[in-house]
Amino acid sequence: MNEIGSRGFTRRALLGAFAATAVVAAPTYSNAFGFLRGAGDIRRIKMYSGRTGETIDMIYWIEGDYVKEAVTEVSHFMRDWRNNKSRGIDTRTIDIMAAAHNLLDTNEPYMLLSGYRSPETNAMLRRRSSGVARNSLHMKAQAADLRLKSRSVGQMAKAAAACRAGGVGRYSKSDFVHMDCGAVRTWGR
């Protein structure tokens, strides 16, 4: 059966066009996942915090599944160190961080400057700096500010942007890169 509308389009063609539009419009993380595929059947994240003195070297994904306990540990590690509040970090952000780290070809762990930020901490930081967003993705546990001694801000930002999976901010004067799982965009110098 071939259903043809009044303008000569088949129902199947219209549905196909809609599906293609939906796929293009929807945010995807296929590039980040593609970069992680080379890591085998595991995904790993390595970080340390100068604020808390903690380190983490965690396999958080094995053979197609997130390891719930590991993601919980990563979320605790990425907590708001100022008030010890925690929120489950979006796994898409962890994936972007891991994919960018793989592209940088280094064993050095990220230095985590900021992960989850409570609304109180975000408000305090906004009072001190014009560079802190009112509705920061840090408050949704969807962002991280990271540094590597062995790689420049430009190198880190380029690796994160290559994932085409979220926002990448370059903060060269402060020597860190912001990575998030929001809309694909870049900013900063």
Specify the CATH number for the domain of residue 109. 3.30.1380.10
Q: Is the pTM of this model over 0.85?
A: no
What is residue 91's predicted lDDT score, i.e. its pLDDT? Answer: 97
> Residue 79 domain-assigned?
yes
The residues, ordered by sequence, that sit 6+ positions from 159 with a Cβ below 8 Å of its Cβ are 100, 101, 103, 104
Domain that holds residue 107: 28-188
Q: Total structural domains in the chain?
A: 1
Query: What does the pLDDT look like over 129-184, one tens digit per residue?
Result: 877 888 899 999 999 999 999 999 999 999 999 999 999 999 999 999 999 999 99
User: Strand 167-171 to strand 143-147: parallel, antiparallel, or no bridges (unpaired)?
Assistant: unpaired
What is d(CA 87, CA 106) in angstroms, rounded to the nearest whole number? 28
> Residue 20 domain-assigned?
no
What is d(CA 119, CA 134) in angstroms, rounded to the nearest whole number? 9
> Residue 78 domain-assigned?
yes
Q: How many CB atoms lie within 10 A of CB 150?
A: 10
Selection from 21, 27, 22, 41 nearest residue 92 by Cα: 27
> Residue 84 domain-assigned?
yes
> Residue 22 domain-assigned?
no
